[in-house]
Structure 1
Amino acid sequence: MRASEVGEGEYNPYYKGYIAAAGDGNLLDLLKEGVASFIDFIESIPEDRLNYRYQDSKWTVAEVLVHLFDAERVFQYRALRFARNDNTPLTGFEQDDYVPASEASKRSKASLISEYQSIRESTLTLFETFDSEKLKRSGQASGSNMSVRALGFVIVGHQNHHQQILKERYLV
């Protein structure tokens, strides 16, 4: 399953950039390959930069990381529901409300890495159970159609997108 196979009707246009940022590799390969490189990236961040923000109104490095973890969990949950033919429309989540509640500033780099590893392993385990039929299933999230396979590519692309922002704006 490749991102180029995902039709534009399978996701809200808001997610187009994330799906493009995933690249056009095989979904499971992209999910697996992202683990080691992202852990290496987190390890390269100096501990004293975790609470750095480049503007007062922006999240800190740690808050961006925890946002990625929270979003992956939400997208994973949506994928599970849709793959299991749950047709209950799902509401969105307000990411800006999650950030202060996450208390990311209290986290160590080691705890962030551990959490990321756990979440991605769970994502991989879940997506490995989906055959081509389940990957094509969809449901309603935030008032829009979203397929299981689109959610997988959003997970990959969302991570890539935020990693690039961290490199360009936070870690220069």
Structure 2
Amino acid sequence: MFERPTANDCPPAPWKYVQLVPEGDLLEIYERQREETKALLSGLTDEQADFRYAEGKWSIRQVVGHFTDNERVWMYRLLRIARNNPQELPGYDEQIFAQYAPHERMPLDAVIEEYDAVRAASLTLLRHLPAEAWHRAGSFAGGRLTALAAACVSIGHEMHHIRIIKERYLSRF
């Protein structure tokens, strides 16, 4: 899938993540991102994964848990749209998710394993979407959302957080 959504395919708030996705085959980008993220994280110790660059900020393992949970949420939205069940799709509160997620107490290896399993499931879903499913749309955040846009939001959201990890966390080691 080389196509990209237009601004009409996505509400304004998540559109910023869609714009981060580079040109190329989306499935290859998902797979490459998976390998790059695992390589980046697997070089860290559990002590490094506890690092917070400022008071009140999430640790690295919480950030990874966040973008893993976020991918689950976006793939659920994508699935609902792709299966032509286009009701208003709910949002979620990332702070509440982080507060009740177990990532802070998990070894980093387990957090990476969970990330990898979620990405594997996402790739399986995306690889088997019929062509017409990518263009189906639902309603989200007061706007139109296509399955294609939902897939791009998930990629771009992780790109955003990996950039933050590199700039604000790993630069301190």
- 1:2 is matched with 2
1:12-161 counterparts in 2 under 5 A?
A: 12-161=11-160
Q: Which letter does structure 1 place at the counterpart of 2:7?
A: E
Can you give the 5+ residue segments of structure 2 that lack an aligned partner in the other structure?
A: none
Contact kept? 1:91, 1:143, Cα under 8 Å: no
Q: TM (normalized to structure 1)?
A: 0.94
Aligned length: 171
Q: What is the CA deviation profile of residues 39-75 of structure 1, one whole-angstrom value per residue up to 9, with x for unaligned ones?
A: 1011122321212111112111111100001000000
Q: Which letter does structure 1 place at the counterpart of 2:141?
A: S
Cα distance, 1:145 vs structure 2: 1.5
Q: TM (normalized to structure 2)?
A: 0.93
Distance across 2 between alignment mates of 1:104 and 1:128: 28
Query: Is the counterpart of residue 11 in structure 1 residue 37 in structure 2?
Result: no
Q: Which letter does structure 1 place at the counterpart of 2:2?
A: R
Distance across 1 between alignment mates of 2:7 and 2:34: 27
- 2:163 is matched with 164
Q: Which letter does structure 1 place at the counterpart of 2:138?
A: G
Please tell me the root mean square deviation across aligned C-alpha atoms, in Å: 1.3
Runs of 4+ displaced beyond 6 Å: none
Cα distance, 1:103 vs structure 2: 2.9
Cα distance, 1:140 vs structure 2: 1.2
Sequence identity percentage? 28
